[in-house]
């Protein structure tokens, strides 16, 4: 079993190397399974598993009756499986996810302050308004608007890889839990204030203020989670 897995992994690595070297590029058809297995010296079954694994990862796509093709290799597609991380993480791992967000979100928000277009800022402002419509009742729309607010900020940097990673570190389920916990503690106004400060910094085109506001926000959520996990929140 272990040997078969290592052979499949080698086949996966070989196909990735073909793509990385430019021998087959985005949107191009891969050689047939038979040709690949002969070329790489692996069994057809191992090659089939390698293709299946790379398809799951968003690297390859099977087109019915036309063969297997390399995808467009867009960051959002390649990192799609990564998006399960925040959704299923619990306890200390979830804290680690927030710590990574504390590294990335402030830098991304600072970059957004410099790069966001007027259209981007309008969209971010509209999402903030949706959040502020019902900050005390905290409905599903509040959670959706909150996620959209942060995603729109990172998307406005123009860095698709950063946006895809940010999406992977975000979780609707966890976001709902954060709002519910802050509502029970009477602290939803604090979350709303964080979002307003972030938005004001973006409008002012002030990267330092944007970085600081985003840091305060993620730290607030991180401290809440730490207290919640220890039974004190």
Q: Which of 113, 83, 78, 79 is nearest to 97 (CA)?
A: 83
Same domain for 56 and 105?
no
What pLDDT score does 86 carry? 84
CATH number of residue 225's parent domain = 1.20.120.530
Last residue of a domain, one of 50, 73, 96: 73
Same domain for 36 and 150?
no
DSSP H helical ranges for the chain: 2-20, 33-40, 44-56, 75-78, 84-88, 91-115, 118-133, 140-155, 160-168, 172-184, 188-203, 207-229
What pLDDT score does 81 carry? 80
Interval 45-54 mean pLDDT: 94
Q: Which domain holds residue 51?
A: 2-73
Distance in angstroms (rounded) separating the CA atoms of residues 197 and 201: 6
Same domain for 67 and 85?
no
Q: Which residues, in sequence order, are CB contacts of 64 under 8 Å at separation 6+? A: none
Query: Is the four-CA dihedral 68, 71, 73, 74 of positive or negative sign?
Result: negative
Interval 188-206 mean pLDDT: 96
Same domain for 121 and 63?
no
Interval 84-109 mean pLDDT: 92
What pLDDT score does 134 carry? 61
Please return the burial class of 131, using the count of CB atoms within 10 Å of its CB with bins 0-12, 13-18 and 19+.
buried
pLDDT grade, residue 136 (50/70/90)?
Answer: low
Same domain for 110 and 210?
yes
pLDDT per residue as tens digits for the range 16-46: 999 999 999 999 999 999 999 999 999 999 9
What pLDDT score does 232 carry? 54
Last residue of a domain, one of 73, 93, 117: 73
Last residue of a domain, one of 73, 107, 133: 73
Structural domains in the chain (count): 2
């Amino acid at each position: 079993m272990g040997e078969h897995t290592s052979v499949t992994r080698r086949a996966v690595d070989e196909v990735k190397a073909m793509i990385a070297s430019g021998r087959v590029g985005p949107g191009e058809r891969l050689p047939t399974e038979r040709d690949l297995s002969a070329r790489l010296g692996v069994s057809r079954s191992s090659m089939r598993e390698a293709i299946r694994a790379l398809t799951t990862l968003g690297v390859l796509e099977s087109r019915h009756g036309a063969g297997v093709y390399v995808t467009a290799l867009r960051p959002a597609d390649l990192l799609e499986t990564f998006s399960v991380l925040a959704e299923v993480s619990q306890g200390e791992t979830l804290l680690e996810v927030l710590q990574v967000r504390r590294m990335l979100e402030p830098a991304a928000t600072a970059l957004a302050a410099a790069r966001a277009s007027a259209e981007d800022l309008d969209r971010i402002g509209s999402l903030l308004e949706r959040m502020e419509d019902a900050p005390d009742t905290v409905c599903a729309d509040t959670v959706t608007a909150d996620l959209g607010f942060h995603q729109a900020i990172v998307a406005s940097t123009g860095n698709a890889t950063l946006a895809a990673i940010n999406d992977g570190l975000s979780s609707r389920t966890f976001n709902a839990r954060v709002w519910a916990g802050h509502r029970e503690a009477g602290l939803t106004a604090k979350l709303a204030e964080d979002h307003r400060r972030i938005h004001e910094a973006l409008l002012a085109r002030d990267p330092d203020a944007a970085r600081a506001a985003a840091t305060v926000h993620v730290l607030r959520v991180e401290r809440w989670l730490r207290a919640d996990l220890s039974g004190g929140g």
